[in-house]
Amino acid sequence: MPASARPFEPRSSRVRPYALTGGRTRGRRELHVETLISVPDPDPEYAAALLPESREVYEQAHRPISLAELSAHLDLPLGVVRVLVSDLASEGAVFVHPTGGGQVYRHDPDVLERVLDGLNRLSA
């Protein structure tokens, strides 16, 4: 079975999620829930050397995927996924796509109006 088709086997429920990050709750870079990551040139040998959770992050990112999606797919807390992704990015293993970080839209009334209009249309 190809590595990408292999189902993710999480560790025992006895392993606390933050044990996977060495107790760290923050990564080396600021990553938002909507941040996309990808692996432009996957390396199977590199993936094989990773711990299971990091390997799954790496393999899931063969296509652009957000941190929120990774967290849901892996059933890991977002904070843990942020640290794992940050570590992989620091090693140059994953590409972190630029995001607005919320700062671009924070005080833009036009964007807020469009969001409100869209929500109103959904509830109608």
As a whole number, mean pLDDT of residues 79-93 equals 90
Cα gap 47→28, rounded to integer Å:
21
> Tokens 């969001």 — which residue?
115
What is the mean predicted confidence (pLDDT) over 49-66? 92
**Does residue 21 surpass a pLDDT of 80?**
no
Distance CA 83, CA 18 (A): 9
**pTM for this structure?**
0.64
In-domain check, residue 27: yes
- Residue at 98 is within a domain: yes
3-class secondary structure, 7: coil
pLDDT of residue 33: 87
pLDDT reported for residue 55: 92
Give the structural domain span for 28.
15-123
Within-domain flag for 102: yes
Span 72-91, average pLDDT:
90
Q: What is the pLDDT of residues 7-17, one digit of tens each?
A: 555 554 545 55
Give the CATH number, domain containing residue 36: 1.10.10
Measured over the CA atoms of residue 28, residue 101, residue 74 and residue 89, the dihedral's sign is negative
Residue 5 lies in a domain: no
- pLDDT above 70 covers a percentage of the chain that reads 70
Mean residue pLDDT across the chain: 78
